[in-house]
């Protein structure tokens, strides 16, 4: 079989089967539409959580699982579905994953209890594998020099879908009820499934082995699930409580056992030797840190925008969404622009640039966040920096990994970014709970403290940590191996 040496000198099978330009564009539009839908629905649910809690007469802790169940299951199954996509075809697994999502969305709107709704959200979590599979499909239908642009467009739509979900979701929940957040999503999901089934081209799978390491996948899923449970429940149960340690200790043990177990498997979930490829290691480390900083920033700003003045901006949830939405254009613009530059200058300079821009955006929040205009402008800069980091990550994996491991590699990177995404809000919540200022109200002419709200110091610390994490991303990125596609307009000659 003809092979081309990849960027680290490891033989990577090159069985690229591109699509025609117009057909590739249609595929990109379909995948972008699905990515928009997924991020739109997940943010759309958030405004409805308090209403759902009230309707089912449950606690805030149980209601929080409406979002946690999706995140945890999605993180756990992404590597397995990626592996299945590498073996049985990315289109096939993409559609199967989308079916799980459709079923989850379809039954969620008819949930008779909070526990049934949480189960439905877990089914939707299985559908989260759509995201890494979408990016993997892009590597198959676009030539390598255009992959970064296509991936940038998909990545750039994430924040737009989230912003639209926050705004539209607020209106839907307020005027129609939370059930219609799922009902409308079901209709859109069915339409996109029909379009995807018609447009996506059939994979030509030439896997050396079709054996799937289900045991290894189960160990990894169990370990990651327990760790994510530990992170999400920490603020409620107490980080060192017995209940929390019963999650952390076996979770860490199972994750460690996974690496030991996989070294002995003939057909592992993903060959651990691939983590020795410099760009694969860098992409996964940066993915973990970038997930943490992005979700910590977004969580803090959503909270800050709704706090009473002078603690925050005193906006309602709809006004908060309208404030944050324009700034997400930074991700869309950045996704397209950075995708083009990445092919010319390579991922390493883009990562360094992204970490610098992200750090400047965090600095702007320290300097001035006194109005919705300043917050929107600061977030525009920060999100532009974020997309400058995300696009090179997926491109480094798509280019550096052997083609029969691209989807599972992207699945593992998605899992790590979600792990960071779970840590970020918890870190922000802990800081906001640790640095507070009393809110006074006059009762019978006397000022009486009625609540403790996060102080300005709390948010300053969050943004300083954001700057430190941006610097950490730059430090990690120094180790990346750069590459460009200037001389690859034509397929490279075969190396035997």
- 237-249: pLDDT as tens digits: 787 889 889 999 9
The chain-wide mean pLDDT, for the chain, equals 82
290 close to 393: Cβ distance less than 8 angstroms: yes
Burial 382-408 (b: 16+ CB within 10 A, else e): bbbbbbbbbbbbbbbbbbbbbbbbbbb
Give which of 196, 195, 15 is closest to 91, Cα–Cα: 196
**Whole-prediction pTM:** 0.81
Strands 11-13 and 436-443 come out as unpaired
Mean pLDDT computed over 412-424: 84
CB neighbour list of residue 132: distance below 8 Å, 6 or more residues apart: 78, 81, 82, 407, 410, 411, 413, 414
3-state helix, strand, coil in the chain (%, to 5): 75, 5, 20
Run of H or E residues at 440: strand 436-443
Report the 10 Å Cβ neighbour count for 477. Answer: 23
Q: What average pLDDT does this structure show over 425-446?
A: 81
Q: How many CB atoms sit inside 10 A of residue 111's CB?
A: 21
**Residue 6 binned pLDDT confidence (cut-offs 50, 70, 90):** very low
What is the pLDDT, as a whole number, of residue 206? Answer: 53
Q: Note the pLDDT tens digit of each residue in 198-222.
A: 888 776 555 555 677 888 888 888 8
Residues 317-334 have a mean pLDDT of 74
Q: pLDDT at residue 334 above 80?
A: no
> What is the model's pLDDT at position 438?
87
Cβ(418)–Cβ(179) below 8 Å: no
Q: What is the model's pLDDT at position 209? A: 56
Contact (Cβ atoms closer than 8 angstroms) between residue 331 and residue 387: yes
User: pLDDT tier at 450 (50, 70, 90 boundaries)?
Assistant: confident
Neighbours of 258 (CB within 10 A): 23
Higher pLDDT, 273 or 196: 196
Residue 208: predicted pLDDT? 53
User: What confidence score (pLDDT) does residue 469 get?
Assistant: 96
Mean pLDDT calculated for residue range 110-130: 91
Residue 27 structure tokens: 């595929």
- Average pLDDT value for residue range 246-263: 89
Whether residue 483 is predicted with pLDDT greater than 50 in this model: the reply is: yes
14: pLDDT confidence band, cut at 50, 70 and 90? very low
Give phi and psi for 140, each to the nearest 5: -90, -30
Residue 132: count of CB within 10 angstroms of its CB: 30
C-alpha span between 449 and 441 (Å, rounded) = 6
Contacts 24+ apart (CB under 8 A), 169-173: 169/43, 169/44, 169/45, 169/46, 169/47, 169/48, 170/47, 170/317, 170/318, 170/321, 171/318, 172/44, 172/48, 173/47, 173/48, 173/51
Model confidence at 16, pLDDT cuts 50, 70, 90, reads very low
Give pLDDT, residue 315: 84
Residue 9 in this model has a pLDDT that exceeds 90: no
What proportion of the chain, given as a percentage, has pLDDT over 70? 91
User: What is the per-residue pLDDT across 132-165, written as a single tens digit (0 to 9) for each?
Assistant: 898 888 888 888 777 878 887 787 777 677 777 7
The pLDDT of residue 15 is 42
């Amino acid at each position: 079989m003809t092979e081309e040496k990849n960027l680290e000198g490891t033989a990577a099978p090159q069985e690229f089967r591109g699509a025609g330009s117009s057909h590739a564009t249609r595929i990109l539009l379909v995948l972008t539409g699905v990515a928009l839908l997924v991020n739109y629905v997940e943010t759309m649910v958030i405004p409805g959580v308090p209403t759902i809690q009230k309707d089912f007469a449950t606690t805030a802790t149980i209601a929080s699982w409406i979002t946690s169940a999706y995140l945890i299951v999605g993180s756990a199954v992404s590597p397995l579905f990626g592996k299945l996509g590498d073996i049985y075809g990315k289109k096939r697994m993409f559609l199967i994953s989308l079916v799980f999502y459709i079923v989850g969305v379809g039954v969620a709107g008819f949930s008779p209890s909070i526990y049934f709704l949480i189960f439905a959200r877990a089914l939707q979590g299985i559908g989260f594998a759509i995201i890494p599979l979408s990016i993997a499909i892009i590597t198959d239908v676009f030539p390598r020099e255009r992959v970064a642009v296509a991936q940038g467009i998909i990545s750039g739509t994430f924040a737009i879908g989230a912003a639209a979900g926050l705004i539209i979701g607020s209106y839907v929940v307020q005027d129609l009820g939370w059930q219609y957040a799922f009902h409308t999503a079901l209709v859109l999901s069915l339409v996109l499934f029909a379009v995807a089934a018609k447009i996506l081209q059939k994979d030509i799978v030439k896997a050396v082995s079709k054996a799937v390491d289900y045991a290894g996948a189960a160990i990894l899923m169990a370990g990651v699930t327990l760790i994510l449970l530990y992170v999400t429940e920490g603020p409620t149960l107490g980080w060192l409580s017995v209940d929390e340690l019963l999650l952390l200790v076996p979770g860490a043990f199972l994750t460690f056992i996974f690496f030991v177990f996989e070294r002995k498997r003939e057909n592992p979930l993903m060959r651990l030797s691939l983590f020795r490829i410099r760009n694969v290691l860098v992409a996964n480390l940066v993915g973990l840190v970038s997930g943490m900083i992005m979700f910590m920033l977004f969580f803090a700003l959503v909270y800050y925008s709704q706090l009473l003045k002078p603690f925050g901006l005193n906006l309602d949830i709809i006004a908060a969404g309208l404030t944050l939405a324009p700034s997400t254009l930074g991700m869309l613009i950045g996704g397209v622009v950075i995708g083009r530059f990445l092919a010319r200058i390579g991922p390493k300079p883009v990562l360094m640039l992204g970490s610098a821009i992200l750090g400047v955006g965090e600095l702007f929040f320290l300097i001035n966040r006194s109005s919705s205009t300043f917050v929107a402008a600061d977030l525009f800069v920060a999100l532009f920096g974020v997309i400058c980091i995300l696009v090179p990550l997926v491109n480094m994996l798509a280019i550096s990994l052997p083609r029969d491991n691209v989807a599972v590699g992207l699945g593992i990177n998605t899992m790590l970014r979600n792990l960071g995404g779970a840590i970020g809000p918890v870190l922000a919540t802990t800081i906001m709970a640790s640095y507070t200022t009393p809110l006074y109200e006059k009762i019978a002419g006397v000022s009486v403290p009625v609540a403790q709200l996060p102080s300005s110091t709390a948010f300053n610390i969050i943004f300083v940590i954001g700057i430190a994490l941006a610097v950490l991303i730059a430090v990690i990125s120094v180790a990346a191996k750069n590459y460009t596609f200037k001389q690859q307009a034509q397929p490279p000659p075969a190396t035997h």
